[in-house]
Amino acid sequence: MYQVLSATSATLKQMVEESMATDVGPSGLASFFGGTGIVSLESPREMRENNHEGISLWLYSVERDEQQLNEPPQTRLLADGRVELIPAPLPVRLHYLITPLTTNSPDIEQRILGKIMQLFHTHASISGPFLRGELAGSDAELNVHLESLGLEQTARVWEALEGSYQLCVSYEVSLARIELDADPARFSLVESVKADTTLILEREPV
């Protein structure tokens, strides 16, 4: 399915929204996200331009997974005795820049970031009822881990955004799979059988 990118983003967005909404208490974040705060798939720059506060959950990079690229095709035996050959999907890794954005409130930004890091440390593997979009009801499993971006890498991202540096973290999500847009090949295991033909093999003398 080509919708796996948007489905992965929807899954993460829903998890973050629920985590913030249930963080109640005197220092909880539920009141902020019940008021002006939102969780958006927009880039930090787009959120600033639209005067939005909250969390930018921005998919900024997609790369092919070289280790899984040469997976063999899957085979499935059909009811009519033929075999269906299903090509391996394209495996990709998704990179998200997560940035808390508020109006002159570094304390809330730091609490937001801490809550997100706690969330994805607790749920480093996402499957089953957490999946959203086209992934819902599937046996897919997403693995989320915190990336250690160097200062130079982070600076390049913010230069591309043409904005000043903001407190942020980067997460890699794997393994998303984009299926081939083609019907599986089907063939018979035995093309034909000649009942009146016998092949005799003679062993050569040693």
Q: What is the DSSP code string of 136-171?
A: TTS--EEEEEEE---HHHHHHHHHHHTS-----EEE
Neighbours of 66 (CB within 10 A): 9
Could you give the CA distance from residue 8 to residue 10 in angstroms, rounded to a whole number?
5
Quick one: angle between helices 106-122 and 4-21, nearest 10?
Answer: 120
The pTM of the full predicted model, rounded to 2 decimals, is 0.79
Q: Can you give the pLDDT of all 206 residues of the chain as single tens digits?
A: 689 999 999 999 999 999 999 999 888 999 999 999 999 999 999 999 999 999 999 999 999 887 766 666 666 666 776 777 666 778 899 999 999 999 989 999 999 999 999 999 999 999 999 999 999 999 999 999 999 887 788 888 888 888 788 899 999 999 777 766 656 566 666 555 555 655 555 555 55
